[in-house]
């Protein structure tokens, strides 16, 4: 479906360019503006003296196509996004449920670690504190 969306997007972009050019080429009501700047006389040469009617009709059709393409692409993008997001959401829910069931299952107790006879001897857990010799105060005598 994404290939079809890409093709429709390309057609929409081409339609936008054609629509912009059609609007710029059309004759304004007072013979001034952007239409004159981009050579409005060429429209008369291409389509004849009644070119205003032809260009107006083509502009109307291009505008209708633009609207239909935009609506169709919006619908397709929404449908594509919802389908992908709902599948991803369902996978996440299943993963969470699996995690909950795995954490609820008690694991067997680990066997006590066996002492390794080849290991280096360890220090006793408690070391008696070192006793310091009693300090004698020479001034006290």
State the pLDDT at residue 56. Answer: 86
**Residue 62 within any structural domain of the chain:** yes
The CA-based angle 128-130-131, given to 5 degrees, is 120
State the pLDDT at residue 75. Answer: 93
Q: Which residues of the chain fall below pLDDT 70?
A: 28-52, 83-85, 104-141
- What is the residue range of 65's domain? 2-103
State the pLDDT at residue 84. Answer: 67
Q: pTM of this prediction?
A: 0.47
State the pLDDT at residue 68. Answer: 96
State the pLDDT at residue 127. Answer: 55
State the pLDDT at residue 59. Answer: 92
Number of domains in the chain: 1
**Residue 99 within any structural domain of the chain:** yes
């Amino acid at each position: 479906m994404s290939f079809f969306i890409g093709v429709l997007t390309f057609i929409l972009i081409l339609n936008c360019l054609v629509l912009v050019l059609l609007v710029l080429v059309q004759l304004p009501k007072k013979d001034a503006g952007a239409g004159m700047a981009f050579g409005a006389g060429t429209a008369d040469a291409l389509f004849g003296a009644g070119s205003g009617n032809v260009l107006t009709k083509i502009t109307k059709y291009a505008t209708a196509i633009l609207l239909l393409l935009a609506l169709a692409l919006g619908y397709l993008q929404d449908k594509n996004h919802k389908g992908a997001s709902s599948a991803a959401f369902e996978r996440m829910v299943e993963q969470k449920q699996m995690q909950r069931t795995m954490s609820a299952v008690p694991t067997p107790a680990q066997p006590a670690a066996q002492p390794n006879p080849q290991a280096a001897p360890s220090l006793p857990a408690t070391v008696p504190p070192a006793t310091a010799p009693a300090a004698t105060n020479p001034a006290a005598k």
